[in-house]
Amino acid sequence: MRQLPKRIFIAGTSTGVGKTVVSAVLAEALHADYWKPVQCGNLEETDTETTRSLISNHVSKFYPEAYRLKTASSPHYAAEVENMEITPDRLYVPTSEIRLLIEGAGGLLVPLSRDYLVIDLIKYLEASVILVSKNYLGSINHTLLSIEALKQRGIDVLGVVFNGNNFFDNEEIIQHFTQTTFLGEIDEAKELNQEFIKIQAEKLKSTLLQHFEL
């Protein structure tokens, strides 16, 4: 059984699949630190602040974003609107004494600049990946393509977390074709709050312990 890495990138198969919720659940389950390098749109209520508000433990630290962009769009476009360019040399990884969760922006092939993608950032950070897949029609294709892209670049895929209840046999067929570790399923939230996150964290931690030393 392998040790769970200290640097984990929370990637999504697309935008809006629940990376922030899964990040909150993992931060609660692992008492891990959290960092989102690039925030686009809604600077009043960022993903960092949302995650912070959902966490009950007093161990997790939340590091400031390297880029805070006002436009709710692809990061490359939001940066251009503000006469900026997202470059890896400005993305200094926080010095965390414990495990660090890094939340991505959108899907893996979302451009951060004209010649730099989110998946390039993962490679640059030398992070392992937990992939978030939301159960919906089309998620099989999106998830298989995402895992294929990660494998082609030699990126360590720890497994997949499915957000929402199973849709037909999505979860089973994804595991069949990818042989990727199933790390758990996040329930549909009637109300997204700290209690919901704590319940999901206990469930997810139990699954993680079957595959990793924490």
Residues 11-20: tens digit of each pLDDT: 999 999 999 9
Domains of the chain are 2-213 (3.40.50.300)
Note the pLDDT of residue 12. 97
pTM greater than the 0.75 cutoff: yes
Note the pLDDT of residue 88. 85
Sign of CA dihedral 127, 157, 74, 70: negative
Query: Mean per-residue pLDDT for 58-72?
Result: 96
Note the pLDDT of residue 77. 97
Q: E-strand spans in the chain?
A: 2-3, 7-12, 33-35, 38-40, 62-63, 67-69, 100-107, 111-113, 116-117, 128-134, 157-163, 182-186, 212-213
Note the pLDDT of residue 19. 97
Please provide the average confidence, as pLDDT, over all residues in the chain.
95
Taking 90 as the threshold, does the pLDDT of residue 24 lie above it? yes
Note the pLDDT of residue 167. 85
Nearest 5°: phi and psi at 92?
Answer: -70, 125
Catalytic residue among 36, 151, 190, 203: 36
Question: What tens digit of pLDDT does each residue of 84-117 get?
Answer: 999 988 888 999 999 999 999 999 999 999 999 9
Cα atoms in the Cβ-side hemisphere of radius 13 Å centred on 184: 20
Query: Mean per-residue pLDDT for 180-206?
Result: 96
Give the separation between CA 214 and CA 209, rounded to whole angstroms: 7
Query: Does 151 participate in catalysis according to the annotation?
Result: no
Note the pLDDT of residue 90. 84
